[in-house]
Amino acid sequence: MTGHTTDKMSGRPMPPRRLPPIRFSAVDCRIVASGMDWIDANYRTWSTKGRMPYAHPELRWLPKSFDRGRYNAEFMEQVLAAGKAVNHIYDHGGRLYDFTMFQVAALILALRIVTQNVRHEHFKSLVKDLPRRSKRLIKKLEKHRKRAKRACIVAVGAEQCRARQTEWQAFVRWLRIHFCQCACLVRHKHPRIALLRKRVTTFVEWARAELLDRRDPVPPEPELRRLVRQAMRYVQRGRKGYTLRHLENDKVHASAYFCNYVTLALEKQQRKKTMRRPASRIY
């Protein structure tokens, strides 16, 4: 992408200045090409068979409010064209000319995909020092991306360039969720965790009801939940002489215990706020 500037002396438009090429060694080119091939293979599988094997595992059950991004055919064509250009110099390395800032950003995304898959042992690393080499390449590509962004601002204006960047961010989010998700990043729900959360929620409701009955101040929900969890830890450590199961079976006892604990904790916090430290003396 190039921009038109004017001569400061004559005011006449100057010919567009060509951006410097992106230089890749053979090894660097192979690293980037593996990530671009990943995107290309997933796109072809989706366009021909309608399947997304590396989409988010819970994509069908995510709430409607979840931002899934937005597909953009123009940006996808730019990404595929960038992949073809990289594969053209796959064996010997070389230079890439006239890359837009979105195509350079696609190369950075491909590097991150390769690094993630190697770290999770889904890919076999092409080089020994992949993390260090990847960081160096990303730093290099970021300079080219910023240079291409400045050329875009000169060519089309800051507002239109900003609007295109917003569209690109939505497209990259769609690309990550549908093509670049790794099952290793998904935290599988464990039934014990759900049971513990349900127990905490029950104790919080009992403590809030008891505080309202006593007309004592009720802290905000996050603070109340934190204090209840702290009181539960006291019981688990054997400081009270009874267990959490005993509190679950005795609602009156549990309500009084958590209510007293929250009240004392709030009073302690208030005393700390009102305490005045003596002024330091200078000898």
Instruction: Looking at the structure, tell me whether residues 174 and 196 fall in a common domain.
Output: no
Q: Read off the tokens for 114.
A: 């390769």
Q: What's the confidence (pLDDT) of residue 18?
A: 78
Among candidate residues 228, 209, 239, 213, the one with its CA nearest the CA of residue 266: 228
Question: Is residue 165 located within the same domain as residue 91?
Answer: yes
**Torsion-angle region of residue 121: left (phi > 0), alpha (psi -120 to 50) or beta?**
left
Nearest to residue 207, comparing CAs of 247, 236, 154? 247
258 and 266 Cβ atoms separated by less than 8 Å: no
Q: Which of 137, 162, 185 finishes a domain? A: 185
Structure tokens at 92: 């010997």
Q: Is this model's pTM higher than 0.75 or not?
A: no
Residue 275 in domain: no
Q: Same domain, yes or no, for 117 and 166?
A: yes
Claim to verify: residue 209 and residue 176 sit in the same structural domain: no
Structural domain boundaries, residue 133: 5-185
Q: Is 244 exposed, middle or buried (0-12, 13-18, 19+ CB in 10 A)?
A: middle
> Is 147 part of a structural domain of the chain?
yes
The CA-based dihedral angle spanning residues 30, 35, 40, 42, taken in that order and rounded to the nearest 10 degrees: 140
Angle, helices 191-214 vs 221-236, to 10°: value is: 110
Q: What is the pLDDT of residue 9?
A: 54
Same domain, 173 and 261: no
The verdict on residue 272 lying in a domain is no
Q: Does any domain span residue 72?
A: yes
Separation of first and last alpha carbons in the chain: 68
Residue that terminates a domain, selected from 158, 185, 212: 185
Give the residue from 157, 185, 213 where a domain finishes. 185
23 phi, psi to nearest 5 deg: -100, 130
| Residues 37 and 130 occupy one common structural domain | yes
The gap from C-alpha 156 to its chain's centroid, in whole angstroms, comes to: 30
State residue 3's pLDDT score: 47
Query: Is 214 found in the same domain as 89?
Result: no
Burial of 183 (0-12, 13-18, 19+ CB in 10 A): exposed
Looking at 197-248, which runs of residues are DSSP E strands? none
The pLDDT of residue 117 is 87
Task: Give dist(CA 140, CA 22) in Å, integer.
Answer: 9
Same domain, 34 and 114: yes
| Cα–Cα distance for residue pair 96/84, rounded to 1 Å | 11
Q: Which two tokens stand for residue 61?
A: 């059950």
Looking at the fold, whether 141 and 195 belong to one and the same domain comes out as: no
Q: Which of 60, 126, 133, 116 is nearest to 90 (CA)?
A: 126
Instruction: Tell how far CA 45 is from the center of its chain.
Output: 25
Residue 273 lies in a domain: no
278 inside domain? no
- Same domain (yes/no): 36, 159: yes
The count of structural domains within the chain is 2
Rounded to whole angstroms, how far apart are CA atoms 84 and 46?
A: 19
Structural domain contains residue 93? yes
Residue 21 C-alpha from the chain's centroid: 30
Tens place of pLDDT per residue across the chain (283 aa): 444 555 555 556 555 567 889 999 999 999 999 999 999 999 999 999 988 888 887 777 777 888 889 999 999 999 999 999 999 998 888 999 989 999 999 999 999 999 988 888 888 888 888 889 999 999 999 999 999 999 999 989 999 999 999 999 999 999 999 998 876 766 656 667 778 888 999 999 999 999 999 999 899 999 999 999 999 998 988 888 888 889 999 999 999 999 999 999 999 888 888 876 555 555 4
Residues 33 and 155 occupy one common structural domain: yes
Same domain, 227 and 169: no
Q: Is residue 274 in a domain?
A: no
